[in-house]
C-alpha cells in the first residue's frame, strides 16, 4: 500500500542503514521530501541518498546526533529554513551506549523539549 505524501516534508533519523533507510526510500517513493540523518556512517548515508534520488525522490542527508540537543535544534532550523515546514518525523535512530540509559546531552545539562 502506497500513501500519497506528495509535497510533505519528512525527517527520518537513522536513515543511512537498515529500517531507517527503507523508510526514507518508501516515503520518497510516495512523494515526500525526505531529510535523513546519520551520525557515523557517512558512506552509507551517501549511498542511501543516491538510492532515494535514483528512485525519483527529493532528499538530503544531514549529520545530526539526536542525543545532542544542539544537533536537533540545528536540524529543525535547517529543515524549516529549506522547506518551511515539517510534516512527519520518523524517530528511528538507535543509540548504543555503555553508560546510563536514556540520557540526553543538552546545553542546559538536562533533557528538554520545545514546541516548534
For residue 18, name the pLDDT band (cuts at 50, 70, 90).
confident
Residue 97 vs residue 7, higher pLDDT: 7
* Residue with cell string 540526553: 104
Mean pLDDT over 65-74 rounds to 92
First to last CA, the chain: 31
* Residue with cell string 529543515: 79
The domains found in the chain, sorted by start residue, are 9-90 (3.40.50.720)
| pLDDT reported for residue 115 | 42
- Percent of the chain residues past pLDDT 90, beyond the cut: 34
**36 near 63, Cβ under 8 Å?**
no
Mean pLDDT over 29-49 rounds to 89
| pLDDT reported for residue 5 | 85
Using alpha carbons, list the distances in angstroms from residue 83 to 59, 93, 109: 11, 22, 30
| pLDDT reported for residue 72 | 93
Amino acid at each position: 500500500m502506497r500513501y500519497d505524501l506528495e509535497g510533505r516534508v519528512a525527517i527520518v533519523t537513522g536513515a543511512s542503514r537498515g529500517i531507517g533507510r527503507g523508510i526514507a526510500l518508501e516515503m520518497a517513493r510516495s512523494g515526500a521530501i525526505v531529510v535523513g540523518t546519520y551520525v557515523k556512517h557517512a558512506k552509507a548515508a551517501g549511498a542511501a541518498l543516491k538510492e532515494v534520488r535514483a528512485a525519483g525522490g527529493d532528499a538530503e542527508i544531514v549529520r545530526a546526533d539526536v542525543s545532542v540537543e544542539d544537533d536537533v535544534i540545528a536540524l529543525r532550523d535547517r529543515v524549516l529554513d529549506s522547506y518551511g515546514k515539517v510534516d512527519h518525523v520518523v524517530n528511528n535512530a538507535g543509540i548504543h551506549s555503555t553508560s546510563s540509559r536514556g540520557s540526553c546531552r543538552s546545553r542546559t545539562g538536562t533533557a528538554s523539549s520545545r514546541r516548534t
